[in-house]
């Protein structure tokens, strides 16, 4: 067995490579502060549109090969006045190859912005 140890991987032009096409890897991931509309950390995310309270669009840098992908999410509210946030995949969730719309609810079913929204996308 061989071991490959590298600090950086570049494409043939010398630029940063995108591993979006690699199998068994996350195609998109995001940590987002929805209260302050701030991307905290990400991979393959060009921007996030804050549509309204509890609604956001995640726009991808590199399009995914299909809109048939799995989404894992988390949400947390960092105050003592509201119920925890639930990032939901509902019948109004929009999956495309270039973006994903998510909705966030509190435990009473009202739209809610979360302090921290985590999203990971896997697919072909």
Residues 57, 30: contact at Cβ < 8 Å? Answer: no
Pairwise pLDDT comparison (82 vs 31), residue with the higher score? 31
The confidence score (pLDDT) of residue 12 equals: 63
* More reliable by pLDDT, 98 or 92: 98
Burial of 100 per CB tally in 10 Å (0-12, 13-18, 19+): buried
Q: Give 103-118 pLDDT, tens digit per residue.
A: 888 777 788 888 889 9
Report the predicted TM-score, pTM, of the whole model to 2 decimal places: 0.77
Condensed to tens digits (0 to 9), the pLDDT of residues 34-49 reads 889 999 999 999 999 9
Distance between CA atoms of residues 114 and 104, nearest Å: 8
* In the chain, where the domains are located: 28-122
Mean pLDDT, residues 64-82: 78
Distance CA 77, CA 111 (A): 12
* Residue 57 pLDDT: 93
Q: Name the more confident of 6 and 81.
A: 6
Stronger pLDDT, 124 or 37, i.e. the higher one: 37
């Amino acid at each position: 067995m061989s071991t490959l140890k590298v600090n950086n991987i570049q494409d043939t032009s010398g630029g940063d490579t995108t591993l979006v096409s690699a199998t068994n890897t996350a195609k998109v991931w995001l940590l987002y502060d929805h209260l302050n509309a701030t991307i905290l950390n990400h991979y393959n995310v060009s921007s996030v549109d804050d549509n309204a309270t509890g609604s956001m669009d995640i726009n991808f840098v590199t399009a995914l090969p299909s809109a048939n992908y799995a989404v894992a999410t988390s949400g947390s509210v960092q105050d003592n006045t509201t119920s925890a946030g639930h990032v939901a995949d509902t019948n109004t969730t929009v999956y495309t190859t270039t973006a994903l719309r998510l909705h966030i609810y509190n435990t009473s079913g009202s739209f809610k912005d979360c302090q921290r929204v985590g999203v990971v996308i896997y697919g072909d």
